Structure 1
Amino acid sequence: MFRPRLLITSLAIALGACSPTDPQATTSATLAQQVILPTYSRWVDADRALAASALAYCQGKEDLSKARADFMAAQKAWAELQPLLVGPLAEGNRSWQVQFWPDKKNLVARQVEQLLSSGNAISPATLDKSSVVVQGLTAYEYILYDAKIDLANAETKARYCPLLEAIGSHQQALAENILAQWKQDGGMLAQLSKFPNDRYADAHEAIAELLRVQVTALDMLKKKLGTPLGRQSKGIPQPFQAEGWRSDMSLASLDSSLTGAQALWDGTDKKGLRALLPAEQKELAGKIDAAYADVHGKLKAINQPLSELLKNEAGIKQLNDLYDSLNVVHRLHEGDLAKALGVQLGFNANDGD
C-alpha cells in the first residue's frame, strides 16, 4: 500500500544526508589532514635523523657540530608540535619522555650521571625502563652541551655515547609509534575527520579540544619565557630555569611553538580556526593576525641568546616586551576567540604551576 507520508519522510532523511557539511567538521578535518598530521610527520623525520646522527657521531663519522645541528632540528620539530598535542602524545605522560621541563633541581644532570655510574650497560631496552628524566631531548642536550662534559676526550665520549644512542633510538621509536596510532583505523586522524566517533560526539567537541590545546601551549610559552625572566621570583632572573639553556635554544624553540600555534589559527589557505569566525568578527581576526605578527617581529629583532639578554637591563626590557606581546596572543585566544567559537575552556593543564 502506497504511503505518501512515509515517502516524504524518507526523502527528508536523504536530503538531510546531502545537506551542506558542518563548517566545524570541515575545519577539524582540514586541520587534522593538512596541519597536524604533517607536523607529526616532520617530528618523526627529525627523530629518525637524530637517531642516525647519534650513531654516526659515536662511530666517528660525524663531528660534534653536526650532532648538535641535528639535535636542534629535533628540538625545533618538537617545539612546533607542542601546540598540537591532541591524542596519544598528550596521554600517559608521553610528552615527558620527549622533554623534561621545568628542571628546577637539575634532575637531568644528576640522573644521567647516576645512570652512567650504576655499572649497568646502557641500551634502548634499559633506557625504556628508566626515568623519563633521562629518556628525552633534555638529557640529549645535557650530553652534547654541558660545560663539564668534554666530548673531545675519547674516554669521556665513550662513556656518554651509549646513552646518546639509546636516547636517539627511544625518540625515534616513540615518534613512530605515535604517528602509527594517528594513522590507524579509528585513530586521531579519523576521529578529527568524521563525526560522531568514540572520542567526539560532534565536531564542536573536536574544535573545542584543539583550541584548548593551543591555548594551553600559548600559556606554557609564557611560562617558558617568564620563568627565566624572574616573573615568579620577584624579578630576579633565573637563567638556568630556561628551556634549552645549555644549547641557548630557548628563543628558537619559542618561535617554533608559536609557528605551530599559528598554524592552527591560519590553517592552509586561511582554513584554520579563523575560518569559523562569522563575518561580523572580522575585527577579531585582524587583531589575532596583528598579535602574531607583533610577536614574530619582536623575536626577529632579537639577535642575542636569552642567556645574554638576561645579563643587562636593555635585554631584560626586550624580553619583557616580548612576554607582553605573547600575552596578547594568549589572551585573544583564551578570551575573545573562545567566546566567538562558543568554547568553554575550563581547566588549564598549567593551572597551579
Structure 2
Amino acid sequence: MLHPVRLTLLTFSLLLAACSAPDPQTRTSSALAQHVFKPAYAAWAVSSQQLTGSAEALCAGSIELDAARKKLLVTQTAWAALQPLQLGLITEGNRSWQVQFWPDKKNLVGRQIEALLDKTPQPGQNDLEQASVVVQGLSAYEYLLFDPAIDLSRKADKERYCTLLVGIARHQKLLADEVFEDWEAADGIASKLESFPNTRYADAHEAIADLLRAQVTGLDVMKKKLGTPLGVQSKGTPQPYQADAWRSGGSLGNLAAGLASAQQVWQGEPDNGLRSLLDDSQQPLARQIDQAYADTRQQLEMLQQSLTELFASDRARSQLQALYSSLDQLHRLHERDLAKALDVQLGFNAHDGD
C-alpha cells in the first residue's frame, strides 16, 4: 500500500498532467502548423530562392533553357502545394496574385509584358515592384520561358526579356521569404496556431475553423482550375488556354501537389489532422472522405499526358470530367459534411462566383 503522502503526490501529479495535456483541437492545430503548413511554406521559399539562381544562370549563359524550365516547374509545384494551406500574410495585400495571376482570360500576361518592355526595355526592380501583378508572378515567368514566340536561347530574346525574367524571380524570392518569416517568427502565424488565446484566435476551435476554411477554399480553387479549361462554366466548351499552367504543361502536376497537401491537412502527419477530431459516431464520414481522396487520386494518376494533350481525345476528356466530378465531391464533403461535423461556420468564400 502506498504511503498517504506518496499517494497524495501521485494523485497531484496525475491531475497536473491531465490539466497540462493539450485538448484535441489544440493538438491538431499545433501539429498541422508545425508538420504540414510550415514545411510547405519553407519548400516554397527554397524553390523561389533557387528560381532566382536559375534565372541569373540562364541569362549569364551558364545553364540551358531546359534546366531553367525544370526549375520553374519545381517552383510552380511548390506554390500549388500551398493552395489548401493559405493562411497568414499570403492572404493579404494581393500577395497570392503576385505569385500567380489566374485566370488569364484575355492573355493579359503576354500583352502586359510586351507593353511593359516596349515602354521600359530594361525594367529595373523598382519598375517591376510598381507594375501590375499580372507581370510580377509565375504566370509571367512561365510566359517568358515557355511561350512559343520566345526563345531565351537566342541572343536577341535574351536581350529583350532577361532583365524582366531575373526581376520576376527576385520578386518571388523576396515575397516568399517575407511570407515564410511570418511562419517562423516568435509571434507569427505558426505560434498563433499552437497556444490560445492570442491576438488572432480566442481558442483552438477558431484556429481549426480557419484551417478548415483554408482547406475548403483551396479545394474550390483547385476544382475551378480544372473546371475552367474543361468548360464547366462555359456551357461545356473547352477552354484549354484557361488552364493555370498551360504553357508549361504543369496543370495536372500542380493539381496533384495541391491534392497531396489537402490530404495532409485531413490525415495529418502521421494521424493528427482534421480527421482525428471526428468521434466514433462520425467515423462513417471519415471513411467517406478517405475514399473520396483515394478516388480523386486514382482518377488523377490515370492521366499521364498534359491537360492540353488530353483535350485532343474524346476518351481523355471523359476521364477529365470524371476527375472533376470526383474533386467536386471531395470539395463538397469538406464544405458541407466536415464543416458540420466540426461545428464550423465557413461563411463567405472569396472565390465564390469566379
TM-score band, normalised by shorter chain: over 0.9
1:245-285 deviation digits (Å, cap 9, x = unpaired): 11111111111111111111111011111111112222211
Partner of 1:235: 236
* Higher mean C-alpha displacement, 118-127 vs 63-72: 118-127
- 1:340 paired with 2:341, answer yes
Partner of 2:133: 132
Residue identity over aligned pairs, in percent, reads 54
Partner of 2:213: 212
Shift of the alpha carbon at 1:338?
0.8
8 Å Cα contact 2:26/2:204 also seen in 1:
yes
* Higher mean C-alpha displacement, 256-265 vs 177-186: 177-186
Q: Which amino acid aligns with 2:72?
A: F
Partner of 1:60: 61
Partner of 1:7: none
- 1:162 paired with 2:182, answer no
- 1:259 paired with 2:238, answer no
1:303-351 deviation digits (Å, cap 9, x = unpaired): 2111121123212101000001111111111111111111111111111
Q: Which amino acid aligns with 1:227?
A: T
Partner of 1:318: 319
Partner of 1:108: 109
Q: Secondary structure at the match of 2:82?
A: helix
* Higher mean C-alpha displacement, 295-304 vs 73-82: 295-304
Partner of 2:6: none
Q: Distance in 2 between matches of 1:50 and 1:16?
A: 48
Partner of 1:288: 289
Structure 1 segments of 4+ aligned residues over 4 angstroms from their partners:
14-17
Partner of 1:279: 280
Partner of 1:179: 180
Shift of the alpha carbon at 1:124?
2.2
Partner of 2:331: 330
Q: Secondary structure at the match of 2:175?
A: helix
Partner of 2:192: 191
Q: What are the within-5 Å matches in structure 2 for residues 40-79 of structure 1?
A: 40-79=41-80
- 1:21 paired with 2:6, answer no
Partner of 2:149: 148
Q: Which amino acid aligns with 1:119?
A: T
Partner of 1:8: none
Partner of 2:37: 36
Q: Distance in 2 between matches of 1:177 and 1:228?
A: 32
Partner of 2:4: none
- 1:306 paired with 2:307, answer yes
Shift of the alpha carbon at 1:151?
2.3
Q: Distance in 2 between matches of 1:80 and 1:345?
A: 22
8 Å Cα contact 2:36/2:268 also seen in 1:
yes
1:151-178 deviation digits (Å, cap 9, x = unpaired): 2321112211101100110101111111
Q: Which amino acid aligns with 2:284?
A: E
1:217-255 deviation digits (Å, cap 9, x = unpaired): 111111111111111111110111111011111111111
Cα 1:127/1:119, change in 2 over 3 Å: closer
Taking structure 2 as the reference length, the TM-score comes to 0.93
Q: Which amino acid aligns with 1:44?
A: A
Q: Distance in 1 between matches of 2:228 and 2:122?
A: 37
Taking structure 1 as the reference length, the TM-score comes to 0.94
Shift of the alpha carbon at 1:19?
5.0
Q: Secondary structure at the match of 2:81?
A: helix
CA RMSD of aligned residues (A): 1.5
1:121-150 deviation digits (Å, cap 9, x = unpaired): 322222111111101000000000001113
Q: Distance in 1 between matches of 2:197 and 2:237?
A: 50
Q: Distance in 1 between matches of 2:177 and 2:130?
A: 18
Shift of the alpha carbon at 1:17?
8.8
Q: Distance in 2 between matches of 1:231 and 1:317?
A: 13
Q: Distance in 1 between matches of 2:164 and 2:72?
A: 14
Partner of 1:223: 224
* Higher mean C-alpha displacement, 222-231 vs 304-313: 304-313
Q: Distance in 2 between matches of 1:323 and 1:51?
A: 34
Q: Distance in 2 between matches of 1:28 and 1:303?
A: 36
Cα 1:17/1:304, change in 2 over 3 Å: closer
Q: Which amino acid aligns with 2:60?
A: Q
Q: Which amino acid aligns with 2:190?
A: L
User: Paired residues, what number?
Assistant: 341
Cα 1:290/1:144, change in 2 over 3 Å: same
